[in-house]
Amino acid sequence: MTADESLPLFFAPKSVALVGASLQPEKLGYRLAHNLAQRGYPGEVYFVNPKGGELFGRNVYPDVASLPAGIELAVVLVPAQHVPQVLEECGESGVRAAIVCSGGFREVGEEGVEREKGLLRIAKKHNMRLLGPNCIGVLDTHLPLDTTFLPLPGPLAGDLAFLSHSGAICAALVDWARQEGFGFSRLVSLGNQLDVNETDILPLVAEDPATKVISMYLETVSDGRCFVETASKVSQRKPLIALKVGRFESGRRAAASHTGALAGEQVAYQAAFRRAGVEQASTIEEMFDWARALAQCPIPRGSEVAVLTNAGGPGVTAADAVEYHGLQLAALHESTQSKLRALLPPVASVENPVDMLATASPEQYRDGLAALLADDGVHGVIVILPPPPAYAALQVVEAMLPGIEASDKPVVVALMGGDLVSEARHKLRQAGVPDYRFPEAAASALAVLARRTEYLARSGEEPLRATDVDAEAVERVLAANAPGATGFLSQDAAEQILRAYGIPVAATRLARDLPEARSHAAELGYPLALKLASPELSHKSDVGGVLLDLPDAPALEKGYEQLMANAHRFAPDAEVLGVYLQPMIAGGQEVIVGVSQDAQFGPLVMFGSGGVEVEGFGDVAFALAPLTESDVDYLLESTWAGRRLAGFRNLPPADRDAVCQVLLRIAQLAADFPKFTELELNPLRVLSEGDGAWAVDWRLRLSP
C-alpha cells in the first residue's frame, strides 16, 4: 500500500488503536476512548496504556507491540516527548495511518519544531501517513467513526463536511450546529499539518456520498498551487467554502502564534479561491449560512430574485440586500402580477418586492409563492415571514412547504422573530429548507447560489496562451544583462523582454548627454516626453523626474537641464544614467498592468486605474497567472478602469481588445519566467478602439 493509498484509512479503517487511553473520566484519553468505543464504530477498537486494565469492556494493552497484528489506524494521545517512541512502535507494527492529537510541537517554539521533524522522519521511514499533531482528530457521522475527545452529545449526522486548522473551532461549531439544527458528515481537525494537509484531505471528503458541501477554516495552505489545482477539480463536483483568517496584520500574527504557520496575502487568497471555485466567507456564521443553501437548494439559472413578504419594511430591506449582494430584483411578468392581484387585497403591492400586507394568510403565501415560481423571469425567491398577526407562522410554513419542495428554483425563508417563529423554524429545518433570521442573510445565501451557477459555467477553462512569443529572446536578454543593486533591469533590457512577448511599448531612447538627446529627438520627432534614467528611482515623478509634451529643441534643452538639477537636488546619491526620450502618445486612457510573485500561489496579475495615484485610488483587481478568458473579464469588469474602457460621458470608448492582449501576454511572461518578482506597466495608455495600447513606463525586477 502506497502512502496515498493509506489516506482513506483516516475515515474508514477496519481497526483502530488508541494509544493513551485513560481510565480516569476527567482525562481526554477517557473521553476519546468513550467516543471511539461507544458511538457505534463497526470496526475493531483497541486501547493502549502502560497500566493495563479494562475500559468499556475491552482489555487495555500495555504497549503497541502487544496489540494484534493488522491495526490500520492509530490515535496517539500521549505527552509530546513520548510521541516519537509510540510512532516508531506503530510503524514497526505495520500501522499505516496515525492521528497525533498530542500538543507540544511547532506551536510551542523551536523545540517543538525539532520534535516534529523527528516525527516526520519516523513516518516516512515506515511509509505511514500522519494527521496532526496538535489536533482533535477525525469524525464521520455516517460510518460512524469518532476519534475526537469532543463532549457529548456530539454532532448531528448531516451533509456538511468541515476541515479546520483549529480544534477549538471544531468543538464550538459542533455544539452550535446542533442547536441550529444542522449536522456534519465529516469533520477533520488538521492541527499543525506536519504531513497530511487540507489539500490531501479534500478529495477524500469530496468522494464521500453523504457530503454535499465542504467548508474550511484555514489559517494558511501548505502548497498554494497544489491547493488550487486540487480544489479546482473538487469544486466542479461539490461546493467549497472557506473562512480564511489572518486577513489583516494582527490576524496574521495571531495565526502564526497559534499554529506556527505563515498566512499568505489576502489578495492572493482571493485570486486563488476565485480560480479554484472556492467561496470565501467573511464570518463563521456566513460560511454555514452559505453551506446550508448550497446543500439544500437547487442551483438557479440566473440572478433575478423575487421577494415575497407581508410587510413593507422587511421587503425594502431585502431589496437593498439583493442589490448589495450582486443580484437583481426580477421584473415580474404581467401575467404573474394578474395572478397576484386576483388573490391579494386591492391595496397590496404586486410589484417586486411583493407586499401581501400583514393580513396575508397561509393560503396567500402558498399561492403567491407559486405565482412567483411559475414566472420564468424569476430565478429564486426570498420569502419573508415576520410573526403574522392573525395566523401562526407554522401554518404559513406548512402551507408553503409542498411548493418549495417541488420547485426546481431555490427558495430561502427569512423567519424574523424569536419564540413566535420557533416552531416554523423547526419545521423548515426538518424539511431541509434553509431559513435565516433576517433578509440580509437570506439574500446572501441566494447570491452564493447564483455565483455557484456562474462558476460551473466557467469551470474547466484553460488558460489562454499566445503563440507568437519568443522565450529564447528573453533568455538571451537575461544572460546579457545583470540587474542593478535593487534587482531592477535597465529600462532598455526590460523593453526588449516586453517586445519579445508582443507587449507594445513606446519607442524609447537613452540620452547620456545633451548632444545625444538632440540626436534622438531629431529621430523621434516632437512633442516628446523626458524621464530620468536611474535604476534606483522607481517612482521618477516623486523627484520631479518626468517632463511631458516638450514641443521643440529649446524646450528639450531646458527640460534636460531641469531633470539633471532635480536629480541632484532630490536624489543626490542616486546613480543617473541620463534621460529617456519618448514620443508623446496623446489621448486615450491610463491604466496599470502589473505582476507580483506570491510565495504561495505564484504570479498574480494586477489591473486597475493607472498613473501616479494608483495606490490612492485602490481601483485594482488581481487574478492568478496565466489567465483564462473569464479572468480577463473579471479584471476588467470588477474595476472602474476596466468598465471605463467602454466609454464614459465625453470619454470615447478605448481599445479593450488591446488591453486584453496585454493582460494575457504579461501573465504568460510572468508564468514562463517566475524569476520576475515584479513587473509593471504604469501607465499603459489605451487609445481609441482599434488604435491599440502602449506602455509608456515600465519596470521589471528579478529575484535575487
3-state SS track over 64-100: HHHCCCCCCEEEECCCHHHHHHHHHHHHHCCCCEEEE
Q: Give the DSSP letter string of 546-585.
A: EEEEE-SHHHHHHHHHHHHHHHHHH-TTS---EEEEEE--
**Mean pLDDT value across residues 86-112:** 95
Could you tell me the pTM of the whole model?
0.91
Burial class of 472 by CB neighbour count within 10 A (0 to 12, 13 to 18, 19+): exposed
Tell me the one-letter amino acid at 126: H
For residue range 628-650, list pLDDT tens digits in order.
999 999 999 999 999 999 998 88
Count Cβ neighbours within 10 Å for each residue of 326-336 and write b for 16 or more, e otherwise.
ebebbebeeeb
**Mean pLDDT value across residues 316-339:** 98
**Mean pLDDT value across residues 210-237:** 95
pLDDT for the residue numbered 152: 85
What is the rounded distance in angstroms from the CA atom of residue 21 to the CA atom of residue 77?
A: 8
Q: 464: which DSSP letter?
A: P
Is the model's pLDDT at 612 over the cut of 90? no
For residue range 421-479, list pLDDT tens digits in order.
999 999 999 999 999 999 999 999 999 999 999 999 999 899 999 999 999 999 999 99
Report which secondary-structure segment, H or E, holds 403.
helix 393-406
- CB within 8 Å of 62: residues ≥ 6 apart: 48, 49, 50, 51, 52
Count other C-beta atoms under 10 Å from residue 156's C-beta. 14
For residue range 132-182, list pLDDT tens digits in order.
999 999 999 999 999 999 988 899 999 999 999 998 899 899 999 998 889
pLDDT for the residue numbered 258: 27
595: β partners: 605, 679
| All domains in the chain, ordered by first residue | 3-292 (3.40.50.261), 298-458 (3.40.50.261), 461-506+585-704 (3.30.470.20), 510-515+524-582 (3.30.1490.20)
Q: How many CA atoms lie within 13 A of 136 on its CB side?
A: 23
Q: Where are the alpha helices (DSSP H) in 63-190?
A: 83-92, 110-125, 167-180
For residue range 514-564, list pLDDT tens digits in order.
999 999 999 999 999 999 888 777 677 778 889 999 999 999 999 999 999
pLDDT for the residue numbered 346: 95
Q: Are strands 528-533 and 546-550 parallel, antiparallel or unpaired?
A: antiparallel
What is the rounded distance in angstroms from the CA atom of residue 127 to the CA atom of residue 19?
A: 19
For residue range 105-141, list pLDDT tens digits in order.
998 989 999 999 999 999 999 999 999 999 999 999 9
pLDDT for the residue numbered 649: 83
Least confident of 87-91, 288-292, 486-490: 486-490
- CB within 8 Å of 450: residues ≥ 6 apart: 300, 302, 303, 326, 327, 379, 380
Compute φ and ψ for 276, nearest 5 degrees.
-90, -5
Cell numbers for 531, please give them.
524621464
What is the rounded distance in angstroms from the CA atom of residue 446 to the CA atom of residue 693?
A: 39
| Closest CA relative to residue 401, chosen from 366, 426, 425 | 366
Report which secondary-structure segment, H or E, holds 698.
strand 698-702
| Closest CA relative to residue 272, chosen from 622, 536, 653, 630 | 622
The alpha-carbon radius of gyration of the chain (Å, integer) is 31
Q: Which residue has the cell 487568497?
A: 269
For residue range 182-219, list pLDDT tens digits in order.
999 999 999 999 999 999 999 999 999 999 999 999 99
pLDDT for the residue numbered 266: 84
What is the rounded distance in angstroms from the CA atom of residue 273 to the CA atom of residue 267?
A: 10
Is the model's pLDDT at 75 over the cut of 80? yes
Count other C-beta atoms under 10 Å from residue 267's C-beta. 17
Cell numbers for 31, please give them.
473521553
Least confident of 31-45, 244-258, 324-338: 244-258
Q: Is the bond leading into 410 cis (omega within 30 degrees of zero)?
A: no
- Average model confidence (pLDDT) across the chain: 92
pLDDT for the residue numbered 246: 78
End-to-end CA distance of the chain: 42
For residue range 575-605, list pLDDT tens digits in order.
888 999 999 988 889 999 999 888 889 999 9
pLDDT for the residue numbered 666: 97
Provide the Cα torsion 666, 671, 673, 677; round to 10°.
Answer: 80
For residue range 360-371, list pLDDT tens digits in order.
999 999 999 999
Is the model's pLDDT at 253 over the cut of 60? no
pLDDT for the residue numbered 262: 28
**Mean pLDDT value across residues 3-20:** 92
